[in-house]
Structure 1
Amino acid sequence: MNKLLSSHLKLHFVVLLYGITAILGKLISLPAPQMVWYRMFIAFAVLGGFIWLKKIPIKIGYQSIIKIMGVGLVVAFHWITFFHAVKISNVSVTLGCMASTTLFASFLEPIIFHKRIKWLEVFIGLLIIGGLYLIFQFELSFWKGIITALLSAFLAGLFTVLNKLFIDKHHPVTISFYEMISGFISIGIFLIFTDILPHNLLMPNTMDVIYILILGIACTAYAFVVAVDVMKVLSAYTVVLAINMEPVYGILLAFFIFGQSEFMSGGFYIGTLVILAAVFVHPIIMRIQSR
């Protein structure tokens, strides 16, 4: 198997793992904050081992660590809202709304980096808003889950843009390592102040432990390291295009695993297709323009 084909297969396996994340969130019985607390602990431990094994630089300066750990708080809150949305609605609704992350990133990037707003991205954003309107109109019973998922999508766009401030200066695995530590500590403090730690922490049952290990090791640490590794062979455009398949993989898997509870109205699927079409068209047009 040649390196190009191998990298494509690895990339789509990673995207499949991203899609499985929402399904694991539905299967794990723990509330979202506890689930993310365990996930971030496992992820930072595995990434720490990877850093030690590969001798990746970990000393990046006090100020950089503080800033990156600040982004880690955003990551933690993004995951908490993501899993909470899954629990109060379902996998399909959450992933359909999460496809709007591109919309939020397109508006946040010019604000944070003081760039001009690109009218193409405004147009793509309007298409995404149209898709979200269809989802809202036909799945109003899930309005709490939709709003929570949109908040999660906004936070995903925010930390994606903020990470661009560090990606050229520090190794991406090092960045994620400090973000995982930050999220683990901050959620732990929250659990202490809400009297969940150490007295009322819900301990995971046997299946929860298995699912959390898959979530922390495979869907977080492994997926991230492989996603970075394949970019040595594949272009950023190819990676972004493939990652846009996450809602498709996740919704299809959820339908087969959870059955009728994941079956949505026709309007929901039309709205989701509009969002996905807009997300797919954006990098294609950008590539044509760059040529």
Structure 2
Amino acid sequence: MSTPKKSYLNVHLAVFLFGLTGLFAKLVNLNPFVIVFGRVFVAAVFILIWLVISKESLKLHHKKDYQKMVLMGILLAVHWTTFFAAIQLSNVAIGLLTFSTFPVFVSLFRPLINREALSKKEVFFGFITILGILFIVPLKDVFSDTMAGSMIGVFSGLVYAIFTILNEKLVKHYNGKVIAFYEQAVATVVLLPSVFIIKPSVTSYDLFMLLLLGTVFTGIAHTLFINGLKHVSAYMASIITMLEPLYAIILAYFVLGEALTVNTAIGGTIILSTVIFISMDHQKSQRKIPL
């Protein structure tokens, strides 16, 4: 398999695993801060062991890169905490679909960060995605937990957009596992105080679920996603990631019994159609580039 195809496969597999993580917000009866702390702590240990076994160095090339890793870890902690909070306040479908607004933020922020021309086509498709989400968000009940979850989900998407753009820069210079380790480790330190403040009561079931979440659905998935960014742009990765809520909605229906409403089906269809069209358009433009 060619390297670009492998990168796309890595991103798609990571997105599928990410789609399953939304269910943990409902399956684990813990505060979002505690869930995310358990997730990043287990992931950091898992990736560290992986790096030691593969004899890969953790040393970074420049001192400023350590500062960048700290920033990335903080962004990751904020994104995942708000992500789980959004789902717990609403449901898996709304939490994931409001979070999937982040391609709009990628379209708007990436040119500013990378000093590139803003593509009207990317912005247009981003707003088509917003249209799909408007079918799902309950706008008539402004002060409900569901609306609060929706707004937090959008904020989580904003943070994740910045996180994705900056990761695209780092992955050009470092192995995905190294980046993932630093991000998870920093997020662990950032979230550690919340554990002492909340003082959660954790069962053996919770520990097992957090172990599963931190290894398969974080350590492995996060590394696959970051490695995929070597040959997949931040915007294209964000479009592929829009499949995440669709995976989650289907699984939430079968595992949690969450009803799939007509509005959710319409919004999901709009999002999926946008993903397919953008993917085809991107592949077409890539083929036009001379080798």
Please classify the TM superposition score into its range, dividing by the shorter chain length: 0.7 to 0.9
Aligned position for 1:287: 283
Report the more deviating stretch, 136-145 or 25-34: 136-145
Distance 1:85 1:251 in 2: 14
Distance 1:10 1:71 in 2: 21
User: In the TM superposition, what whole-angstrom CA distance separates every residue of 1:225-282 from its partner, at most 9, and x where no partner exists?
Assistant: 44567789xx6489777644322221111001111xx214312221232123223322
Amino acid at match of 1:289: S
1:183 equivalent to 2:187? Answer: yes
Using a 3 Å threshold, how does the CA distance of structure 1 residues 270 and 143 change in structure 2: closer, same or farther? same
Aligned position for 1:128: 129
Aligned position for 2:205: 207
Identity %: 26
User: In the TM superposition, what whole-angstrom CA distance separates every residue of 1:24-77 from its partner, at most 9, and x where no partner exists?
Assistant: 121111100111111111111111111111122211032201111111101110
Distance 1:139 1:271 in 2: 17
Aligned position for 2:245: 247
Distance 1:288 1:243 in 2: 20
Report how many residues are paired. Answer: 279
Unaligned 5+ residue runs, structure 2?
none
Using a 3 Å threshold, how does the CA distance of structure 1 residues 171 and 139 change in structure 2: closer, same or farther? farther
Contact 1:78-1:152 within 8 A present in 2 as well: yes
Distance 1:138 1:264 in 2: 18
Aligned position for 1:274: 270
Distance 1:27 1:139 in 2: 29
Matches within 5 A, 1:202-241: 202-227=200-225, 236=232
Q: TM-score, normalising length from structure 2?
A: 0.85
Using a 3 Å threshold, how does the CA distance of structure 1 residues 289 and 264 change in structure 2: closer, same or farther? same
1:168 equivalent to 2:172? Answer: yes
Distance 1:13 1:47 in 2: 18
Any idea what SS the aligned residue of 1:197 has?
A: helix
Aligned position for 2:68: 67
Amino acid at match of 1:163: N
Aligned position for 2:114: 113
Amino acid at match of 2:188: F
Distance 2:109 2:98 in 1: 17
Unaligned 5+ residue runs, structure 1?
none
